[in-house]
Structure 1
Amino acid sequence: MDIFIKSFNRPYYLDRCIESIVKNIYNGEYSIIILDDGTQQKYLDKIKSKYENISILKSEYYDSKVKKINDFIEQGTEINNMVIPAAFWKKSIKSSKENYILVLEDDFWITERIDLTETIEIMRQHEMPFMKLFYFNNHRFLCGKIKNVNNKISSLKPEFKISSPFIVKNVILKNKFRSFSILQRLGIVNYNIKFDYYTLYSVAGAIYTKQYYDVLWENSHDIVNEELQLCNAYDDYYKNKKRSLIGFFSTDVVNTSFSSSATNMFSHINLNVYQYNHELNESWYNGKFNPMKGYPKDIDDSEIVGVLNDSKIVKIEEWKKWKSFFLKQYTDIGISNE
Structure 2
Amino acid sequence: MKAATYFGRLVGMGAVLCSVFLIGAGFAQAAAPQLSSGQPLTLDKPYSSAQTITDVISNKEVFGKLQGSTPIDIYSVTPDRDGEQTFSLLSPQQMPGQAALIFVDPTTASQAQNLGLPLPESGNYHTALVKAPTAAKTYYETALFQNFDVLAQGRYSLKKGVTYYLVVLDPYRQTVNYALKLGESSSWTAGDVFRNFGTWIRLQTNDYAGTSPFTFSWHVFKYFMMLLSLSVLVGIFFIEQLFAFMANKSKAAGYILIKMQPFSKVFIWSGLALMAIFSYLFFRDDSWLGIPFVMFLVFIPLLISLLYQTIVLSPRVAALEVTKKEATIPFALRKRWFFSFLVSFFSLGAILVFFGIYFTK
TM-score of the pair, normalised by structure 2:
0.25
Structure with the bigger RCO (C-alpha within 8 Å, sep 6+) is 1
Report the TM-score, using the length of structure 1 for normalisation. Answer: 0.27
Structure index of larger Rg? 2
